[in-house]
């Protein structure tokens, strides 16, 4: 940590700060600059230092170390590979997850699952518990939806990922699915993150709508610190001023996350663009930028979808997209 003293700070002010830091067990280094004094603070704890920001003579407290540990590449230099059944995220192969936004019926899921199982897609997605902006919107089929997903897994040999929204749904999802999704709106639902840390299934952790990369990694740190190291990060678009797209897909997050963390990262080009015909170019871009996987909304009949129809690919468009991804993967030294 670095403490920048105000220009008006007196020698007594500086001594007050350094005495307090020493009393709290920190080592200090003082640099007397042209206009301001800077105090380098050496030690593990950060909160004791941050609260010195309330002193009038302190202008700024600047953190130097990253706030996360277990998920940091400093701590674990090698890439982590997360296994979901026989599927590996973070290795040489780029994994495609696809399926409808919401589980609506057995027929709909089976039709989607059959189609994707022939395309090289290895994981089926579909929401049984749906966080919806309006209380009057379809809220998902719940446990019945999970059972439909499980049936599709049995029949078509796909892994299943689906969202949990609270403790009760988490218990069900952990029982019936292969991977638990934590949605963007719950990225800082810390009680849910602690609970996810205690289950034995891998987690797909979506980035919050306006989460910084540091906050996102701190959310992953919650899961890891509570016992679950099997975390896959998912960028799904951030909120900006631009309104042509539903959100702004932050593909730069891929190299940034790869530098800061050892965890795999997956991209959701469907929620970010919000429009089906922009999904394919962004999916290809994601693979070119080094993503470990994609999660794509596809529906047997988008115009009948109970949620997010406008951003869902139909199944022939999905097949076409998956085919086109192989060449990109190859060009960056990976395979599909």
| Contacts of a second copy in 245-284 (CB under 8 A) | 245, 248-252, 254-256, 259, 272-273, 275-278, 281-282, 284
Stretch that binds a second copy, among 107-115, 119-127, 147-155, 221-229 (CB under 8 A): 221-229
225 touching a second copy, by CB under 8 A: yes
**Smallest distance from a second copy to CB 180, Å:** 15
40 vs 91 by CB, closer to a second copy: 40
Interface with a second copy: number of residues (CB under 8 A): 107
Local structure of 4: helix, strand or coil: strand
Among positions 13-42, residues that touch a second copy (CB under 8 A) are 29, 31-36, 38, 40, 42
87 vs 267 by CB, closer to a second copy: 267
Q: Which of 163, 178, 221, 292 binds a second copy (CB under 8 A)?
A: 221
131 touching a second copy, by CB under 8 A: yes
Question: What are residue 295's DSSP bridge partners?
Answer: 97
Q: Which of 105, 111, 117, 324 binds a second copy (CB under 8 A)?
A: 324
135 touching a second copy, by CB under 8 A: yes
Provide the total of helices (H) and of strands (E) in the chain, helices listed first: 11, 14
Q: HSE-up of 32 (CA within 13 Å, CB side)?
A: 3
Stretch that binds a second copy, among 79-87, 108-116, 198-206, 233-241 (CB under 8 A): 233-241
143 touching a second copy, by CB under 8 A: no
Question: In 3D, which of 46, 39, 45 has the Cα closest to residue 14?
Answer: 39
Torsion over CA: 86, 87, 91, 92 (sign): positive
**Smallest distance from a second copy to CB 71, Å:** 11
Furthest C-alpha separation in the chain? 76
Query: Any alpha helices (H) in 77-212, and if so which ranges?
Result: 106-117, 143-156, 167-176, 190-196
Cβ–Cβ under 8 Å, residues 279 and 269: yes
Cβ–Cβ under 8 Å, residues 293 and 95: yes
Distance CA 242, CA 246 (A): 8
Q: Which of 10, 15, 92, 240 binds a second copy (CB under 8 A)?
A: 240
**Smallest distance from a second copy to CB 154, Å:** 29
- Helix axes of 315-331 and 106-117: crossing angle, nearest 10 degrees: 30
226 touching a second copy, by CB under 8 A: yes
Q: Which of 74, 144, 175, 320 binds a second copy (CB under 8 A)?
A: 74
Q: In Å, what is the CA distance from 206 to each residue of 111, 222, 231, 234?
A: 26, 14, 10, 4
């Amino acid at each position: 940590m670095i403490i920048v003293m105000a220009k008006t700070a007196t020698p007594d002010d500086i001594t007050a700060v350094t005495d307090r830091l020493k009393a709290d067990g920190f080592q200090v280094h003082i640099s007397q600059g042209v206009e301001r004094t800077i105090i380098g603070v050496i030690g593990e704890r950060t909160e004791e230092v941050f609260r010195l920001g309330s002193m009038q003579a302190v202008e700024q407290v600047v953190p130097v170390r990253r706030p996360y540990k277990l998920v940091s590449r400093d701590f674990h230099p090698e890439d982590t590979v997360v296994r979901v059944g026989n599927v590996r995220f973070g290795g040489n192969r780029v994994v495609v997850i696809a399926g409808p936004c919401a589980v609506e019926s057995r027929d709909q899921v089976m039709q989607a699952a059959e189609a994707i199982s022939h395309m090289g897609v290895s994981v089926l997605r579909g929401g049984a518990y749906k966080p919806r902006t309006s209380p009057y919107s379809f809220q998902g089929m719940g446990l019945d939806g999970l059972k439909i997903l499980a049936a599709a897994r049995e029949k078509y040999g796909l892994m299943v990922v689906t969202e949990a929204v609270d403790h009760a749904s988490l218990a069900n999802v952990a029982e019936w699915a292969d991977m638990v999704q934590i949605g963007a709106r719950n990225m800082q639902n810390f009680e849910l993150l602690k609970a996810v840390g205690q289950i034995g299934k891998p987690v797909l952790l979506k980035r919050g709508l306006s989460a910084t990369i540091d906050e996102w990694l701190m959310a992953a740190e919650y899961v890891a610190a509570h016992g679950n190291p099997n975390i896959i990060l998912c960028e799904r678009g951030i909120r900006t001023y631009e309104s042509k797209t539903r959100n702004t897909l932050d593909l730069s997050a891929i190299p940034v996350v790869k530098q800061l963390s050892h965890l795999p990262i997956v991209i959701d080009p469907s929620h970010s663009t919000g429009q089906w015909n922009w999904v394919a170019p962004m999916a290809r871009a994601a693979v070119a930028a080094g993503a470990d996987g994609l999660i794509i909304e596809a529906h047997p009949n988008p115009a009948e979808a109970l949620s997010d129809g406008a951003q869902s690919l139909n199944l022939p468009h999905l097949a076409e997209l998956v085919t086109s991804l192989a060449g990109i993967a190859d060009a960056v030294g990976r395979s599909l």
